[in-house]
Chains A and B, each alone.
Chain A
Amino acid sequence: SAVISQKPSRDICQRGTSLTIQCQVDSQVTMMFWYRQQPGQSLTLIATANQGSEATYESGFVIDKFPISRPNLTFSTLTVSNLSPEDSSIYLCSVAGTGLNTEAFFGQGTRLTVV
């Protein structure tokens, strides 16, 4: 398993500003994922971040709104830009293992409230 540290754990931000969320893993991983979990909803994949290449975004998510960095195999950031109240959600990073046991492990999440 992997230990994932995500910060901040929560934040309250003004509309129009941006929030950058950091995700640190205790081991090197190839694939890192960023999810959004809106209140009472399941997880929706925002993008997949691979080291050394541009992130791959899912339908409905764009780089201008959710820029992602992946400078090395243990770290990634997700920025939520030009915040609006609709961005209030929990944001989670996760990593996949290697080989056949590619189950995903999650950070504790960042609870964002936009006011």
Chain B
Amino acid sequence: QKEVEQDPGPLSVPEGAIVSLNCTYSNSAFQYFMWYRQYSRKGPELLMYTYSSGNKEDGRFTAQVDKSSKYISLFIRDSQPSDSATYLCAMKETSGSRLTFGEGTQLTVNP
């Protein structure tokens, strides 16, 4: 069993839709949770970063962490064609330790 599970998609939505991206994990020691966006032929770009449980909002993006369920989510409101990319969740146990990535979800937002 993988430590981090993420549905690879592909996910296709119309412009303006609310997008929900999710990851589950099995390692209860994970404390730091990140979401990266990766455009084609580019390196991953950090979108959101959360420590422990709770919600974090940044513009159209909201990250949620539910440690009791070992489940994290990224919500994108009012999705735009420019949001079309692969979204990767990542997590780690403690400060400075290595990241464990999900497989990434390929998202397409259609105009």
Contact = CB atoms under 8 A, between A and B. Distances in A.
Interface in A32-85: 33, 41-43, 45, 48
Interface of A: 1, 4, 6, 31, 33, 41-43, 45, 48, 92, 96, 99-109, 111
Nearest to A111: B41
Contacts of B95: 99-100, 102
B46 interface: yes
Given A104-B46, A105-B46, 13 more contacts: A41-B103, A43-B88, A43-B99, A43-B101, A92-B43, A92-B44, A99-B95, A100-B51, A102-B95, A103-B46, A103-B49, A106-B45, A109-B42
Contacts of B75: none
B65 to A, nearest CB: 14
B34 interface: yes
A109 B98 contact: no
B107 to A, nearest CB: 15
A100 B96 CA distance: 8
B11 to A, nearest CB: 15
Contacts of A4: 43
Interface of B: 6, 32, 34, 36, 41-46, 49, 51, 88, 90, 92, 95-96, 98-99, 101-104
Interface of chain A, main secondary structure: strand
B6 to A, nearest CB: 8
B43 to A, nearest CB: 4
Nearest to A10: B41
Give the 3 A-B residue pairs with the shortest CB-CB distance, closest first: A106-B43, A42-B103, A42-B101
Contacts of B104: 42
